[in-house]
Amino acid sequence: MATLWQKNSQAHEQVSAFTVGKDREFDMLLAEADVLGNIAHTTMLESIGLLTREEMNLVHAELRNMYADIEAGKFIIEDDVEDVHSQVELLLTRKLGDVGKKIHSGRSRNDQVLVDLKIFMRDAIKETVSSVQQLFTTLQSLSEKHADVLIPGYTHLQVAMPSSFGLWFGCYAESLSDDLQLLLATYKITNQNPLGSAAGYGSSFPLNRTMTTDLLGFEELNYNVMYAQMGRGKVEKTVSYAIASIGSTLSKMAMEVCMFMSQNFGFVTFPDEFTTGSSIMPHKKNPDVFELIRGKCNKLQALPAEIAYITTNLPFGYNRDLQLIKEHFLPAFDEIISCMEIANLLFSHIQISDTILDDSKYDYLFSVDEVNRRVLEGMPFRDAYKQVGLEIQEGKFNPDKSANHTHEGSIGNLCTEEIRRKFNTIFDEFNFDVLTEKKRQLLQVTS
């Protein structure tokens, strides 16, 4: 097996298979990032005299060809090659000979995989943010469209007070804005350059770490080389909390859609093509999509704990345990994005009932409003509460079903513009344009 660390002895075949595990499979997701990291690193090596300008140009030309192959789906990690880093260096060496062997100067596979992971995470967070924005926009639109359609609100799953579809959709939109805030915090932690930390103790070469930070579009450096290495696992765990937070929002929302679709509620429905049937009961329209969203997002909420258990009590320096994080962490982005995309699709076709409160079982929703009306007329709250309670007990309560809630964030004042402003303020702080421009510059052919 081709490895970056191979000397004269050959590793036992079974040991190699066990230690490599699923690394090749998940390293394919890091291939683009590895090429970008190599372009930045070799640019820096040329600046400190470890590569000539001609050697750097040769390496960059091959790396850009490799990047194009990755985008076209032509890049593979060969069966006898340990990981993506070994494959990239092997291809360069085949093409360029000794020049390809020079690219690893001043670097360890430890900081190489760290920078790959961070580049991958930045792009994955960008895609996740885009999906959050799309779902947020849909929920905000539905909140405004159905602002006046009243539904029962519940506490303890008992009919409680009047709510509305405007309030319900807006609730989850604002929840996504807080999820976005957490995602922003994790993005800032991710967007720090570990390259040059080598194996966690730096290098005797005069590396220019500020240069690679700028070339790769990182906002900041991980300055302390030991802490840069300690960040492996910590960064993934931190990002997973943000993914789990989005998952929590979606899971709760999906659960309520499942309830609202049931005949006992009858609040919403969807066109037949968005539901599934039963093999035995011809009347069924099952909310399978939302059940799967609920299950997938609940599973994602376990991800931070899983990473925490893998990383607990690891000593200083790199430990191979960290390799295992990739298997569940890297696919988590596609999982949460797919859940948001399918939720967005279904919400774009949701059909709601606007006669829900015509049912007499919801009459008591307005008991608090009636108590408040009497208080506004001068009656002490406790007396009004008792009076309305007695009327309910005696079957004499006759509700006024027009809710008059006007304070900020209530049924009659949803504050959708304020929530939109809050969301957009957070969104703008990501400043993804920097990443796009830096990637363009790295891949640009120069004379």
CATH number for the domain spanning 60: value is 1.10.275.10
Whether 255 maps to a domain, the answer reads: yes
Residuewise pLDDT in 10s, the chain (447 residues): 555 545 555 666 777 666 666 777 889 999 999 999 999 999 999 999 999 999 999 999 999 999 999 999 999 999 888 899 999 999 999 999 999 999 999 999 999 999 999 999 999 999 999 999 999 999 999 999 999 999 999 999 999 999 999 999 999 999 999 999 999 999 999 999 999 999 999 999 999 999 999 999 999 999 999 999 988 999 999 999 999 999 999 999 999 999 999 999 999 999 988 888 666 777 778 889 999 999 999 999 999 999 999 998 888 888 888 889 999 999 999 999 999 999 999 999 999 999 999 998 898 999 999 899 999 999 999 999 999 999 999 998 988 888 888 899 999 999 999 999 999 999 999 999 999 999 999 999 765
The CA radius of gyration of the chain, in Å to the nearest whole number, is 28
pLDDT, tens digit, for every residue of 367-408? 999 899 999 999 999 999 999 999 999 998 988 888 888 899
Question: Is the domain of 258 the same as that of 321?
Answer: yes
Round to whole Å and give the CA distance between 231 and 238: 10
Q: Are residues 119 and 56 in contact, defined by beta-carbon separation less than 8 angstroms? A: no
Cα within 13 Å of Cα(203), Cβ side: 19
Domain CATH for 253: 1.20.200.10
Strands 150-155, 158-164: pairing kind: antiparallel
Whether 88 maps to a domain, the answer reads: yes
Q: How many domains does the chain have?
A: 3
Q: Is 152 helix (H, G, I), strand (E, B) or coil?
A: strand
At 320 the pLDDT is 85
Round to whole Å and give the CA distance between 166 and 186: 31
Round to whole Å and give the CA distance between 390 and 374: 14
- Please identify, among 75, 101, 127, the residue that sits at the C-terminal boundary of a domain: 101
Whether 193 maps to a domain, the answer reads: yes
Exposed/middle/buried for residue 376 (C-beta within 10 Å: 0-12, 13-18, 19+): exposed
Q: Are residues 285 and 275 in contact, defined by beta-carbon separation less than 8 angstroms? A: yes
Q: Of 13, 5, 40, nearest to 320 (Cα)?
A: 5
Question: Is the domain of 353 the same as that of 384?
Answer: no
At 402 the pLDDT is 83
| Boundaries of domain holding 316 | 109-142+164-205+222-358+415-443
Which tokens belong to 77? 């990690």
At 91 the pLDDT is 97
How many other β-carbons are positioned within 10 Å of the β-carbon of residue 108? 20
Question: Is the domain of 123 the same as that of 226?
Answer: yes
- Please identify, among 83, 101, 119, the residue that sits at the C-terminal boundary of a domain: 101
Round to whole Å and give the CA distance between 148 and 405: 12
Question: Is the domain of 179 the same as that of 314?
Answer: yes
Strand partners, 151: 163
Strands 268-269, 158-164: pairing kind: unpaired
At 314 the pLDDT is 86
DSSP state at residue 353: -
Question: Is the domain of 292 the same as that of 373?
Answer: no
SS3 content of the chain, % helix, strand, coil (to 5): 65, 5, 30
How many other β-carbons are positioned within 10 Å of the β-carbon of residue 184? 17
Question: Is the domain of 201 the same as that of 257?
Answer: yes
Whether 210 maps to a domain, the answer reads: no
pLDDT, tens digit, for every residue of 24-62? 788 999 999 999 999 999 999 999 999 999 999 999 999
Whether 118 maps to a domain, the answer reads: yes
Q: Is 81 helix (H, G, I), strand (E, B) or coil?
A: strand
Strands 192-193, 158-164: pairing kind: unpaired
Whether 253 maps to a domain, the answer reads: yes
Question: Is the domain of 376 the same as that of 438?
Answer: no
Q: Are residues 339 and 296 in contact, defined by beta-carbon separation less than 8 angstroms? A: yes
Q: Are residues 99 and 59 in contact, defined by beta-carbon separation less than 8 angstroms? A: yes
Whether 8 maps to a domain, the answer reads: no
- Please identify, among 71, 101, 131, the residue that sits at the C-terminal boundary of a domain: 101
Question: Is the domain of 397 the same as that of 308?
Answer: no
Round to whole Å and give the CA distance between 56 and 380: 83
Give exposure, 388-409, as e/b (b: 16+ Cβ within 10 Å).
beeeeeeeebebeeebebeeee
Question: Is the domain of 131 the same as that of 34?
Answer: no
Question: Is the domain of 345 the same as that of 389?
Answer: no
Q: Is 287 helix (H, G, I), strand (E, B) or coil?
A: coil
At 445 the pLDDT is 78
At 125 the pLDDT is 98
Question: Is the domain of 82 the same as that of 113?
Answer: no
Whether 217 maps to a domain, the answer reads: no
Exposed/middle/buried for residue 200 (C-beta within 10 Å: 0-12, 13-18, 19+): buried
Round to whole Å and give the CA distance between 347 and 344: 5
pTM of the prediction? 0.91
